Amino acid sequence: MIMAEQTQPEELSRGLSQRHVQMMAIGGTIGTGLFLGAGDTISLTGPSVLLVYLITGGFLFFMMRAIGEMLYVDPDSSSFVSVVSKYLSPESGYFVGWSYWITLILPAMAELTAIGHYVQYWLPNVATWKTELVIMAILIILNLTAVKFFGEAEFWFASIKIIAILSIIAVGAYMIITGFKTPGAHGGQVGFQNITNGFSFFPNGSMNFLQAFPMVFFSFVGIEFVGLMSAETINPRVVIPKVINSVLIRILVFYIGALAVIMAICNWRYLPAGESPFVMVFQLIGLHGAAAIMNFVVLTAALSALNTLIYSAGRDIFALAQENDGPVERFFTKLSKTAIPARAILFSAGLICVTPLIKLIPSLTSAFNFFASATAAITVVIYTLIMLAHRQYKKSDDYLEDGFKMPAYQITSPLTILFFVCIFLMLFLTPSDRIAAFAGIAWTVLFGTFSFYYVKRH
């Protein structure tokens, strides 16, 4: 018994190498939204969508630098939940922790649903609920073993997404260099003139341009996953800064580069809004299995996202358990023999596993879609609180003058907070997002009040 107590781990194991963290960071910023939703954003505002991606990506890079600066000072910190608790208040940390957990669980349910549909492309006679439960069983096992096995799986998931995007860029570059002409009624010369000729910042009106910002913003959600890995990363003071500094390059290459090439291949006015432009590019080069290839890629993207969401949900609850001494949180403080927050992972994964049941009840399905949209609005609130925590860190005794500092803090910090406020206000431009924005406000007020009184009592 004494031996068991002595060998019971009390801290998360540092099993993630720079290779793992780098790929997980990329996987967190490249999701199915890019592969399937790029057509929607391009049709909304044309080539100026590149500017939307650049602006949004730039401000999220500044937020990542703020997270990195705080984690650099305390690399043993479980997550950005811990720094919000430390530099704002325990109540704020509690609100951010459980709010963030909800924004992980609902998207995980959506990803699991998507995976079931993608697998049916090859196994049409197998019930989706069976596929979903098998996938969940595999991912749960991955997440309950040593963290390095999870990191290895995510490394290969992310690699497939990266190879797909780089293939598109390479094919597009070849078409441009060789003077390729696309066939069909809307075909023509491949080249960047398809972007520059008749260029207009607001081809469909300034309102559509503004509406593109929330869509693009939410395609980046997940970029903060790196902020949950510090306590499990080998040599975090070296790895985390390197990974965060590469965020801007990843945005330029994987988002802006890929979309620019797609619009160079085909005039953006003829890109179908509801279809993946990546499939169209593969078809243009005569690859008849384009649909199957992209189905495999988006399946991998969904598996990567679900895998990371399960990981993040477990670490988020563990961080909350360390920060709070309530009866619920206390249950999740115990780690497994492999230094994994197994209880938190199983609790989160168990809720995700009820996804097939939710789909059987129409009223719950519509409610799920509504709350999933509302969680997107809550993400803006969470990001804003992280930035406010960073401002308080700058005033604290922990501030490290020669640390991994946010660049041009006096300017970039207030501008980043203002940008998040603007994103929230832009939600009111479209009816569906407007409802989500109101739900986000209601959650913030009601759960924020509960968090204040709950933490005070415990």
What structural domains and CATH numbers belong to the chain? 13-452 (1.20.1740.10)
Number of C-beta neighbours around residue 103 at 10 A? 25
N-term to C-term CA, the chain: 31
CA distance 438 to 374: 8
Helix (H, G, I), strand (E, B) or coil at 8: coil
Q: What is the pLDDT of residue 367?
A: 61
Short-list 414, 332, 426, CA closest to 377: 426
Q: What is the pLDDT of residue 14?
A: 63
Three-state secondary structure readout of 282-308 = HHHCCCCCHHHHHHHHHHHHHHHHHHH
Q: Find all residues with CB under 8 Å of 20, minimum gap 6, and list them.
A: 148, 151, 152, 154, 155
Spell out the alpha helix ranges (H) of 128-187. Answer: 128-144, 147-178
Q: Find all residues with CB under 8 Å of 297, minimum gap 6, and list them.
A: 35, 160, 161, 164, 278
Per-residue pLDDT of the chain (458 residues; tens, 9 = 90+): 444 444 666 666 666 766 677 677 666 566 666 776 777 788 889 899 999 999 999 999 999 999 989 988 887 766 788 889 899 999 999 999 999 999 888 888 888 888 888 898 899 999 989 999 999 999 999 888 877 777 788 788 888 888 888 888 888 888 889 888 887 766 788 888 888 888 888 888 889 899 889 888 887 877 887 766 666 677 778 888 888 888 777 777 888 888 999 899 888 888 777 667 777 777 776 777 777 888 888 888 888 888 888 988 888 888 888 877 777 777 888 888 878 888 999 999 999 998 888 777 776 666 656 666 677 789 999 999 999 999 999 999 999 888 899 999 999 999 999 999 999 999 898 887 888 889 889 999 999 999 999 888 87
Short-list 416, 438, 442, CA closest to 427: 438
Q: Find all residues with CB under 8 Å of 125, minimum gap 6, and list them.
A: none
> Using CA of residue 320, residue 21, residue 161, residue 433, what is the dihedral sign?
positive
Tokens at residue 34, please?
């890019």
Q: What is the pLDDT of residue 7?
A: 60
189 φ, ψ (degrees, to nearest 5): -70, 130
Short-list 135, 122, 81, 77, CA closest to 104: 81
CA distance 351 to 353: 5
Tokens at residue 374, please?
């509302």
Helix (H, G, I), strand (E, B) or coil at 182: coil
Q: What separation in angstroms does the CA of 105 have from each of 18, 69, 251, 370, 383?
A: 27, 27, 25, 14, 18
Residue located via tokens 């700058």: 394
Q: Helices 49-73 & 80-87, crossing angle to 10 degrees?
A: 70
Short-list 221, 279, 204, CA closest to 49: 204
- Residues in the chain, total: 458
Burial zone of 10 (CB within 10 Å; 0-12 exposed, 13-18 middle, 19+ buried): exposed
Short-list 372, 386, 380, CA closest to 426: 380
What pTM value is reported for the model? Answer: 0.87
Q: Find all residues with CB under 8 Å of 77, minimum gap 6, and list them.
A: 70, 71, 83, 230, 231
Residue type, 402: D
CA distance 190 to 213: 28
CA distance 138 to 325: 32
Q: What is the dihedral of CA 316, 317, 318, 321, to 10 degrees?
A: 130
Q: What is the pLDDT of residue 369?
A: 60
CA distance 225 to 158: 14
CA distance 416 to 280: 36
Tokens at residue 346, please?
């199983």
Tokens at residue 299, please?
């399946």
Tokens at residue 266, please?
């085909």
